[in-house]
Structure 1
Amino acid sequence: MTNHHRAEHRITVRAPARTVYGLIADAEAWPRVFPPTVHADVLERTAGEERIRIWATANDAVKTWTSRRVLDPDGLRVGFRQEVSQPPVAAMGGEWIIEPLSDTTSLVRLTHDYRAVGDDPEGVEWITRAIDRNSDAELDALRRAAERTPGAGDDELSLEFDDAVEVAGDPADVYDFLYDARRWQERLPHVNRVELGEDTPNLQLLEMDTLTPNGAVHTTQSVRVCFPCDTIVYKQLRTPALMSVHNGRWRITKSASGCTVTSTHTVVLAPDAVAPVLGEGATVGDARTFVRDALGRNSTATMLLAKEHAERAARER
């Protein structure tokens, strides 16, 4: 007989129920809100229902699955059921339930029902541990996001920006340069060390040390989801001190000259780190400028070297 297991996690949030519901309903914003979520794509959307594919960390591994969600804004509920699960998960579903406690306070319940492949006890233990860990992280992050007060300076903590480079070369050569991060230590002057794992094709775990202009070394760890041959999205699991969230995307599009490569960064700053990192008297505005310049400088340097690589390959053909 197949054993079905259940779990429930809950948290009280000092925010209106509709604010909380809106954060849960917007799956495409999850990488900014929820630490385990690396990337989310909405595959289909109809009234009250959508099909999404999610990439997320679970017990230090990266998993991807497809889920169908039922959105009930009137009932303040979002139900979900995995269509395609990854071992050791055989099946999983659940529901987000938001209960107003007052006009400004809500109770959020996150339920799961699941079973393991072959009812394997080790599989059940792995899934239970992953659900406990991720649910706690997600609920705490949801609380923090919902409790931010609009207009009280929190908007200043978030920034998103693009840098772009035109390339007179084959888009595939640009993609290969960005995809093959194993060679970045020899190809990129600001990269001091690289470790890259890819147990699942096009799903990479990248750890690297980068050098700042003043000689400091930053260690970052990222999950990268690669979509041959035009897009790589990533999320830093270990960020420099100034950032609490750093997500990025490389996108390569065809152009008249060959292609355009664009780097997009989405950042949430850590306000408590501003003074320790930048010095007493530094402001969030100073941190915005510093992060924009540092990330833009490194990504533009990478794109210019990808341009050089692709244009050299085009000349040699």
Structure 2
Amino acid sequence: MSAERVHRTTHEVSVDAPAGVVYGLIGDAVTWPLFLPPSIHVEQLEFDGRSERLRMWVRASGEITSWTSRRTLDPARRRIDFHHELPAAPARSLAGTWQVQALAADRSRLTLSHHYTLTGDDPRQAAWLEAAVDTNSRTQLDRIGRLARRWDRLDALVLAFEDSVRVNGPAELLYDFLYRIGDWPQQLPHVTRLTHTERTPGIQETTMDTRTADGTRHTAESVRICFPHAGRIVYQQSSTDPLIAAHTGEWSVVPDERGVTVTAHHQVLLHEEAIAAELGPHADLAAARRHVRRVLGGHSTTTLQRAKSYAQNAVTVL
């Protein structure tokens, strides 16, 4: 007979930021992939102003998993209760609470508590879940603490932009080009090497070497979540570019009656401490924003144009 036991954990951190700022960071879960790894992608499925239903993709103890989460938001009390519906044993569900307490005008305490029932007789599964909850909790709290300390600079450190092209070709072929990332070293001049795996259908893990126009080389690891029926591929990328602290994005293919629009969306968190070393002692945050916009935009525009040629040339051959 399988055993069941309730497990409870509590982690907390003091944060040098107003309580409202900290609550805002935990309240906007859709931004977590940029701000709070190990979250990879979060989609809001329902929201009525107080409660929401989310679909979350998360890296837990080195593995990528996904679940549905329901959250109840209470901004007046600065409290969020959540309930994760996990896909498999050793726990069918995991619940908990985020709580923010004001300690002073510019200082607060953030507490994250969990409770869940472990089921089954496999101690390895139970140990995996316990380790994942503990590691992820500590990672999230540490990240929130470091981000919140820059609350007055955070808007300037975030860069969001997109590039689009119009295509007279099938949406399916455009998506196929973006999905078949293993072919990119032969198709894109800035991609010099790429390896990828897809152990779970629709979830790709990649390592890609790129070269900028000035010859600088960077290596980036990405997790890509593919939604073929919606014509979307979302990703979270870790970059060795010193100016980039975090990078998320999306490729979207949107057909209409006159053709197809294919778009590259980017969200970047800049690493302010690296600006002087990378761009010179007189460079500022505005210069860093322009530089990152130019480099990432140049690569994505090249990819969009090659996808356009791929789709339109295939139609011509047919």
Amino acid corresponding to residue 294 of structure 2 in structure 1: D
CA distance in 1, matches of 2:312, 2:306: 10
Aligned equivalent of 2:13: 11
CA deviation map 1:156-177 (0-9, x unaligned): 2211111001111001100010
Q: What TM-score results when the alignment is normalised by the length of structure 1?
A: 0.94
- How far the C-alpha of 1:146 sits from its partner, in A, is 2.2
Q: Is the 8 A contact 1:33 1:141 kept in 2?
A: yes
Aligned equivalent of 2:205: 205
CA deviation map 1:250-308 (0-9, x unaligned): 11111344201011111111011112222332222221111100000000000100001
CA distance in 1, matches of 2:29, 2:176: 29
Judged with a 3 Å threshold, the aligned counterparts in structure 2 of structure 1 residues 117 and 214 are, in CA distance, closer, same or farther, namely farther
Deviates more, 1:97-106 or 1:267-276: 97-106
Aligned equivalent of 1:43: 45
CA distance in 2, matches of 1:71, 1:64: 21
Aligned equivalent of 2:298: 297
SS of alignment partner, residue 95 of structure 1: strand
SS of alignment partner, residue 92 of structure 2: strand
Q: Is the 8 A contact 1:115 1:124 kept in 2?
A: no
Out of 136, 140, 144, the position equivalent to 1:142 is 144
Q: Which runs of 5+ in 1 are unaligned?
A: none
CA distance in 1, matches of 2:253, 2:88: 29
Identity %: 41
Aligned equivalent of 2:266: 265
Q: Is the 8 A contact 2:163 2:301 kept in 1?
A: yes
Aligned equivalent of 1:306: 307
**Aligned residue pairs: how many?**
315
Aligned equivalent of 1:222: 222
SS of alignment partner, residue 259 of structure 1: strand
CA distance in 1, matches of 2:211, 2:169: 29
- How far the C-alpha of 1:155 sits from its partner, in A, is 2.8
Q: What TM-score results when the alignment is normalised by the length of structure 2?
A: 0.94
Q: Is the 8 A contact 1:67 1:81 kept in 2?
A: yes
State the Cα RMSD in Å. Answer: 1.7
Deviates more, 1:80-89 or 1:200-209: 80-89
Judged with a 3 Å threshold, the aligned counterparts in structure 2 of structure 1 residues 19 and 257 are, in CA distance, closer, same or farther, namely same
Q: How does 1:23-38 map to 2 (within 5 A)?
A: 23-38=25-40
Runs of 4+ in 1 over 6 A off after TM superposition: none
Out of 129, 132, 141, the position equivalent to 1:130 is 132
Deviates more, 1:135-144 or 1:205-214: 135-144
Aligned equivalent of 2:234: 233
- How far the C-alpha of 1:89 sits from its partner, in A, is 4.2
Judged with a 3 Å threshold, the aligned counterparts in structure 2 of structure 1 residues 17 and 164 are, in CA distance, closer, same or farther, namely same
Amino acid corresponding to residue 201 of structure 1 in structure 2: P
Q: How does 1:65-104 map to 2 (within 5 A)?
A: 65-86=67-88, 88-104=90-106
Aligned equivalent of 2:111: 109
CA distance in 2, matches of 1:93, 1:248: 29
Judged with a 3 Å threshold, the aligned counterparts in structure 2 of structure 1 residues 257 and 240 are, in CA distance, closer, same or farther, namely same
CA distance in 1, matches of 2:44, 2:308: 31
- How far the C-alpha of 1:118 sits from its partner, in A, is 1.6
